[in-house]
Each structure stands twice: as C-alpha cells, then as structure tokens.
Amino acid sequence: AQSVSQHNHHVILSEAASLELGCNYSYGGTVNLFWYVQYPGQHLQLLLKYFSGDPLVKGIKGFEAEFIKSKFSFNLRKPSVQWSDTAEYFCAVNAAGGYQKVTFGTGTKLQVIP
C-alpha cells in the first residue's frame, strides 16, 4: 500500500516569499500524484496533477510541482506567495493503472502574512 508524508504541518510566510512544500510518497510502482488545496471555508479542490511525461507540472494560480522519481518526491512550489494563498495543502498519490484509491497526506497549513 502507498503512503504519503508531508513533513511541514504549518508554514508561515510573508507575502512575496517563495514557497516549497515537501511531499514524499512510499510505493514501489508507477504512481499518479496530486496536490489539492482547501481554502478557508471552502471544499477541497485539485491544484495540479502528474500522470506521466514532463516531471515539472504547472497548475493553477502560479503553482508548480516537480516529480523526482529517485527521491519519491513531489514538492509543491510557488515563486512568490500572496495572502490569498493562505490555505491547507494536501499531497496525494495513487498507483497508476485502473482503479487505485487515492491516499492523502496529513496536510500543510500555509499562512501568508500581508
């Protein structure tokens, strides 16, 4: 079974700072990778996803993530955060091919200070 680790539980940044949220997964086979975001009072929504091809994936709102297979990592990055990026971010993984349930990490709460 796969598992996901998000090492940062709470991150506080000032506006315009650069962001990198760590995500490591555990699974020996081919995977699909996701980042979801939950803004305050809103439901979870997909930020970006990786299935195959270019390991650098670009998502909405200027976010990107890089899949590094050798490190089993899929870190989320943004060069300059805004106050509106304050949210909780969840990394998720599932085994590629057919139905495989998605396993989520415990989430990272990002607080951006104006």
Count of residues in contact with another protein, rule CB under 8 A: 25
Is residue 42 near another protein by the rule CB under 8 A?
A: yes
How many distinct helices (H) and strands (E) make up the chain? Answer: 0, 12
d(CA 97, CA 38) in angstroms, rounded, equals 27
12 vs 16, beta carbon nearer another protein: 12
Is residue 102 near another protein by the rule CB under 8 A?
A: yes
Grouping H, G, I as helix, E, B as strand and the rest as coil, residue 65 is strand
Beta bridge partners of 36: 46, 90
Residue in 94, 110, 91 with CA at minimum distance from that of residue 102: 94
Q: Which position among 31, 85, 103, 110 is part of the footprint of another protein (CB under 8 A)? A: 103
* Part of the chain binding another protein (CB under 8 A), chosen from 23-31, 67-75, 76-84, 104-112: 104-112
Q: Which position among 25, 67, 74, 90 is part of the footprint of another protein (CB under 8 A)? A: 90
Is residue 104 near another protein by the rule CB under 8 A?
A: yes
Residue in 17, 30, 15, 24 with CA at minimum distance from that of residue 108: 24
The tokens for 52 are: 């195959």
* Part of the chain binding another protein (CB under 8 A), chosen from 13-21, 44-52, 62-70, 72-80: 44-52
- Contacting residues toward another protein, per CB under 8 A: 9, 32, 34, 36, 42-46, 49, 51, 90, 92, 94, 97-107
